[in-house]
Structure 1
Amino acid sequence: MTQSPLARAVAFATLGTCLCLPSLAQAEFIKDSKASLELRNFYMNRDFRDRPASGQAKAEEWAQGFILKVESGFTEGTVGFGLDAYAGTGLKLSSDDDRAGTGLLPSAFGNEGPGSYGEASAAVKAKLSNTVLKVGGLMPKLPIVSSGDSRLLPQVFDGAMITSQEIAGLTLNGGQLRQTNFRNSTNREDIRTTNYATGVSDRYNFGGGTYQFNAGNTTAGLWYGELQDVYDQKMYNLIHTQPIGDWKLGANLAYFDSSENGRNLVGKIDNNLTSLMLSAGIGAHTFRLGYQDSSGDNPFPFLGETDPAIASYLQILDFTRANEQSWQARYDINFATYGVPGLSAFVRYVTGDGFDLADGSNGKEWERDLDITYTIQEGTFKNLAFRWRNAMVRSNASIGDLDENRLIVSYTLPLF
């Protein structure tokens, strides 16, 4: 790949520290290194049709993000060492006191916040055979904990994580997260649960793994997570794909068993959640049907701003209230089949009910999402992507009725 002068300059600056350390600047360390700079322009508008108690009628902000990620290779030897680094900057393009609080910026209704914010982290890593240990800044993407990336900058954790793939088909993961840098913050904070039950801790312990069999068509997973002194959670997961003629069928079944376990919890946690997603794809088209059942005395708990691996976790709602059942229909289309590579879209509708409101009446809610993405495939602007995310929510619960639009323009520049 031919690099631009800017790309070369950033690449050399990023690795400058490493090159000053002869013991680390070995062939594999440099050869296997990669880095990218993502420019993310994000506009978000949320219209509160049922004005909340705060009196805010609309949340509307526009911001520009810069996301730099660097991953080195490993030094030579029985144990290889390496370094990963991340830096992010967010710039306010438009916001004011009356419409702040979209989550794009460190702002809130009544305070539009600063004009910019930034964050940075790094992780040292060591590799022995097919086992890798990382210590420092982490963005785990695991079924039991997955860092969120639905706003301007991603969520980052501080901690340690080990990944082992010594046995074919078997992947094991374990670790401890100590603090988190939320998506619109520059501060590292203790880890908290979602708003349904308030709990904060500086220890999130997790472990588990997946095993692929049946020629790779079936994956079984078993996971455990504990937010120390708040709650613990067990997850069982089974994923299967099955080609039948021109069709590709799929199923993703997950079961979570969650309970409280400590003194830092305000409220209670007692929940069992079942999540099921079925899919059928042919050519450009994929059809999905989903079901989710959140049973127990309390809502389903997960770490704040993370993306739980459940069927009904959507753009706005997650349908995880106590005793809430939800059904989903989704349709995806890839227009490459029709001569427009890079263009894809999906529409989904989820309806949930069965939960009790504060006054004892029955709760009902639904969400409809429309998501369209186009990525330029070649030429000067290759990899420039445009995305429109539209959502509509109608609920007789506390969130009320609202409409939302997100417009995202992103460009990822490979540096080396």
Structure 2
Amino acid sequence: MLKTPIARGVALATLGATLAIPTMAQAAFIEDTKAGLELRNFYFNRDYREGSGQSKQEEWAQGFLLRVESGYTEGTVGFGVDALGLLGVKLDSGGGRYGDGSQLLPGDGDTAADDFSELGLTAKAKMSETVLKVGTMQFKNVAVANSDSRLLPALMQGANLVSKEIDGLTLDVGYANRNNLRASSDNQVLSLNGASAGANTRNIRLTSGAANESDDFRFAGATYQFNKNLTGSYYYSQLEDLYKQNAFNLIHVLPISEGQSLKTDLRYARSKDDGSSNVDNKSFGAMVTYSLSGHSFGLGYQKMSGDTGFAYLGGNVDPYLVNFIQVNDFANADEKSWQARYDYNFAAVGIPGLTFMTRYVTGDNFDRIGADAGTEGKEWERNTDIAYTFQTGALKNLNVKWRNATSRNNYSRGTNIDENRLIVSYTIPLM
């Protein structure tokens, strides 16, 4: 049933791990194994509205994502293995349209690769409500979140320990030493996003002679659910030699009546240098969302203070910011930004599976660079998402999503863009 080489590779690796486990302990390992093959078709179009360089990026590709998650062997400590097989195939690119900005396919110059693949294996062990994983990781927490917004997801090599022994409390400890970009099959050393030897709107610089690279990122955090409506989190993270960060998050949902609620999401982070940079940032964000019968109305505010902008890992990592959206993160030094958002779930009018989202974010109060240094920088972005998941018939569970973005600023013509993404995905359960 699995025809592609990458699929066969994952299947053989998983089978090998299974055979290595004593026969008496295999029952739960096999019975609880889950496997699925996601087919992800991705069209990307980015139109640069100003500038003398490349005017357009356009690519179309097909992705295959095979995920296998085993159960655990029997005993006080259960052992298992997860496998992730990724394959990206070019359908259309080139002719002056290829560029790293799309990040669908790897390439060189004006030519995208015909295909690329990756095989990731993760060993795991479980005792009671504590799980340790070592190998290929896809983190998603306050400290680090690997992006999955293109053809294939970004990955890391490392380890993660998650413990839920105490009711309502989740402890999360992790480590990474390599990064695998979403348009690459190679592992790379870690880096600090936005660091530059010259002037930049982040104002993040490295000390003389220092390299923007590290092979040691670690984090430790705790999330506690005080009650069914209130959850708080704290995470400490450090990218060795480059930055360290303390981050807090508080989420509260106030039920008002049937189908009506008010959600408040507060985020604060304090980032400092770790010896080889000038990182100094305080980040505050708040998002308040009022929901009523399928409608959601959100207002957000984000403020950067300190000598630099927000610090986070480079290499396709999504920062935990309320105004991090499709193109921008609005996290320049001293920047203030506001968001207005509207969502609608058409299930409220009898069309389940159809959703709509639109938002507008505007930011200002940061310094421009180059010849315009000393004057105020401004930027704005508008997003629209429409998605539909088929509920019945031959196309049941097929998901179609269109994402549109318009971004403008007065400090870098290369990022004044109009962008469209069309994603069609379908997951085939295999086990």
Q: Tell me, in whole angstroms, the C-alpha distance in 2 between the residues paired with 1:27 and 1:61.
A: 45
Give the drift of 1:15: 4.6
Give the drift of 1:157: 0.6
- After TM superposition, list the pairs within 5 Å mapping 1:136-175 onto structure 2: 136-175=135-174
Aligned residue for 1:147, secondary structure, equals coil
Match of 2:129 in 1: 130
Q: What is the alpha-carbon root mean square deviation over aligned residues? A: 1.8
Q: Tell me, in whole angstroms, the C-alpha distance in 2 between the residues paired with 1:323 and 1:107.
A: 36
Aligned residue for 1:17, secondary structure, equals helix
| Amino acid paired to 1:383 | N
Q: Tell me, in whole angstroms, the C-alpha distance in 2 between the residues paired with 1:111 and 1:129.
A: 52
Aligned residue for 2:148, secondary structure, equals coil
Aligned residue for 1:192, secondary structure, equals coil
Question: 2:306 aligned with 1:296, yes or no?
Answer: yes
Q: Tell me, in whole angstroms, the C-alpha distance in 1 between the residues paired with 2:21 and 2:131.
A: 22
Structure 1 residue aligned with 2:274, among 256, 261, 265?
261
Give the drift of 1:236: 1.0
Give the drift of 1:248: 1.1
Aligned residue for 1:70, secondary structure, equals strand
Match of 2:345 in 1: 334
| Amino acid paired to 2:243 | Y
Match of 1:306 in 2: 317
Question: 2:43 aligned with 1:50, yes or no?
Answer: no
Q: Tell me, in whole angstroms, the C-alpha distance in 1 between the residues paired with 2:355 and 2:152.
A: 23
Match of 1:38 in 2: 38
Match of 2:198 in 1: none
Q: Tell me, in whole angstroms, the C-alpha distance in 1 between the residues paired with 2:302 and 2:429.
A: 39
Match of 2:262 in 1: 249
Structure 2 residue aligned with 1:87, among 85, 94, 100?
85
| Amino acid paired to 1:360 | G
| Amino acid paired to 2:420 | N
Q: Tell me, in whole angstroms, the C-alpha distance in 2 between the residues paired with 1:170 and 1:220.
A: 10
Give the drift of 1:14: 6.8
Structure 2 residue aligned with 1:380, among 362, 380, 394?
394
Structure 1 residue aligned with 2:376, among 352, 357, 362?
362
Inter-CA distance 356–68: structure 2 relative to 1 (3 Å threshold): same
Inter-CA distance 323–12: structure 2 relative to 1 (3 Å threshold): closer
Deviations 1:218-266 (A, max 9, x none): 1111101100011001101111111011311111101010011123x4x
| Amino acid paired to 1:125 | K
| Amino acid paired to 1:299 | G
Aligned residue for 1:201, secondary structure, equals coil
Higher mean C-alpha displacement, 110-119 vs 32-41: 110-119
| Amino acid paired to 1:29 | F
Inter-CA distance 115–78: structure 2 relative to 1 (3 Å threshold): same
Match of 1:99 in 2: 97
| Amino acid paired to 1:332 | D
Deviations 1:387-410 (A, max 9, x none): 100000111021442100001111
Question: 2:201 aligned with 1:186, yes or no?
Answer: no
| Amino acid paired to 1:306 | V
Question: 2:425 aligned with 1:407, yes or no?
Answer: no
Give the drift of 1:378: 1.8
Match of 2:19 in 1: 20
Inter-CA distance 134–12: structure 2 relative to 1 (3 Å threshold): closer
Give the drift of 1:299: 1.2
> Structure 1: 5+ residue runs without aligned partners?
none
Give the drift of 1:113: 2.8
Give the drift of 1:6: 6.1
Deviations 1:24-48 (A, max 9, x none): 6622111211111111111111111
- After TM superposition, list the pairs within 5 Å mapping 1:153-232 onto structure 2: 153-196=152-195, 197=204, 199-214=212-227, 216-232=228-244
Deviations 1:280-337 (A, max 9, x none): 1111111111100011111111112111221100100110000000000000001111
TM-score by length of 2: 0.90
Q: Tell me, in whole angstroms, the C-alpha distance in 2 between the residues paired with 1:44 and 1:66.
A: 17
Match of 1:114 in 2: 113
Q: Could you tell me the percent identity over the aligned residues?
A: 48
Aligned residue for 1:98, secondary structure, equals coil
Q: Tell me, in whole angstroms, the C-alpha distance in 2 between the residues paired with 1:195 and 1:116.
A: 29
Q: Tell me, in whole angstroms, the C-alpha distance in 1 between the residues paired with 2:15 and 2:161.
A: 27
Give the drift of 1:140: 1.1
| Amino acid paired to 1:92 | K
Q: Tell me, in whole angstroms, the C-alpha distance in 2 between the residues paired with 1:6 and 1:231.
A: 44
Q: Tell me, in whole angstroms, the C-alpha distance in 2 between the residues paired with 1:251 and 1:311.
A: 11
- After TM superposition, list the pairs within 5 Å mapping 1:39-78 onto structure 2: 39-51=39-51, 55-78=53-76
Q: Tell me, in whole angstroms, the C-alpha distance in 2 between the residues paired with 1:6 and 1:356.
A: 54
Q: Tell me, in whole angstroms, the C-alpha distance in 2 between the residues paired with 1:322 and 1:204.
A: 23
> Structure 2: 5+ residue runs without aligned partners?
196-203, 207-211
Deviations 1:153-178 (A, max 9, x none): 00111011100000000000002101
Q: Tell me, in whole angstroms, the C-alpha distance in 2 between the residues paired with 1:210 and 1:19.
A: 34
Q: Tell me, in whole angstroms, the C-alpha distance in 2 between the residues paired with 1:73 and 1:172.
A: 22
Deviations 1:193-229 (A, max 9, x none): 2134473111101001100012x21111110110001
TM-score by length of 1: 0.93
Q: Tell me, in whole angstroms, the C-alpha distance in 2 between the residues paired with 1:132 and 1:400.
A: 42
Give the drift of 1:18: 4.0
After TM superposition, the runs of 4+ consecutive aligned structure 1 residues lying more than 4 A away are 9-15
Aligned residue for 2:28, secondary structure, equals helix
Q: Tell me, in whole angstroms, the C-alpha distance in 2 between the residues paired with 1:221 and 1:22.
A: 37
| Amino acid paired to 2:362 | T
Q: Tell me, in whole angstroms, the C-alpha distance in 1 between the residues paired with 2:59 and 2:92.
A: 5
Q: Tell me, in whole angstroms, the C-alpha distance in 1 between the residues paired with 2:165 and 2:343.
A: 36
Q: Is the 8 A contact 2:117 2:185 kept in 1?
A: yes
Aligned residue for 1:158, secondary structure, equals strand
